[in-house]
């Protein structure tokens, strides 16, 4: 058995490939996260299974247990521990916003390439894999592409 080539990408309009354009796109997506509901989160079932969404919540919970003095972590802890839909949605929003922030922060990293094609800029990352994710940005892009469609649409992401 050999290694496989794994690549993940997303595209934006070429005119949005400026510092201002990327910030506007990110901000629109972050605002769209605030408007999601349980139905939108159900759209992400594949993401939850494929990208260990529940594992992220569990990991965050473990981090919180190790450092309850941090106010931010206390707030997240109270949201995660509740089984109420509203609190589940709020905890999920925090994670989704983190994925958006990580994605836009990764633009310009060494493991991210940019290709212009037909008025679009394609950001991609990947490499050879023996069962793991080849780059951190590749994993981030996979999560990013699994966001609810209405969030991606808010940013004009294809």
pLDDT at 40: 78
- Tell me how many domains the chain contains: 1
For residue 7, pLDDT beyond 70: yes
High-pLDDT (> 70) share of the chain, %:
71
How far from 133 is each of 45, 48, 125, 129, 142, CA to CA, in Å? 20, 17, 10, 6, 10
Which residue is listed with tokens 């450092």?
A: 67
For residue 114, pLDDT beyond 80: yes
pLDDT in tens, 119-146: 999 999 999 988 888 999 999 998 899 8
Bridge partners (DSSP) of residue 127 are 6
- Helix-strand-coil percent breakdown of the chain, rounded to 5? 60, 15, 25
Range of the domain at 91: 4-154
Residue 45's SS3 state is helix
CB 143 within 8 A of CB 126: no
How far from 76 is each of 20, 67, 69, 121, CA to CA, in Å? 31, 12, 12, 35
For residue 82, pLDDT beyond 50: no
């Amino acid at each position: 058995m050999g290694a496989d080539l794994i690549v993940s990408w997303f595209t934006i309009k070429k005119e949005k490939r400026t510092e201002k354009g990327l910030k506007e796109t990110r901000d629109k997506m972050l605002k769209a996260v605030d408007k999601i509901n349980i139905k939108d989160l159900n759209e992400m079932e594949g993401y939850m299974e494929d990208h260990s969404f529940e594992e992220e919540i569990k990991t965050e919970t473990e981090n919180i247990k190790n450092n309850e003095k941090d106010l931010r972590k206390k707030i997240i802890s109270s949201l995660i521990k509740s089984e109420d839909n509203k609190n589940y949605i709020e905890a999920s929003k925090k994670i989704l916003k983190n994925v958006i922030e990580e994605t836009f922060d990764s633009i310009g990293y060494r493991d991210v390439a940019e290709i212009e094609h037909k008025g679009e800029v394609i950001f991609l990352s990947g490499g050879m894999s023996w069962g793991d994710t080849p780059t951190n940005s590749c994993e981030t892009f996979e999560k990013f592409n699994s966001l609810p469609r209405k969030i991606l649409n808010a940013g004009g992401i294809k």
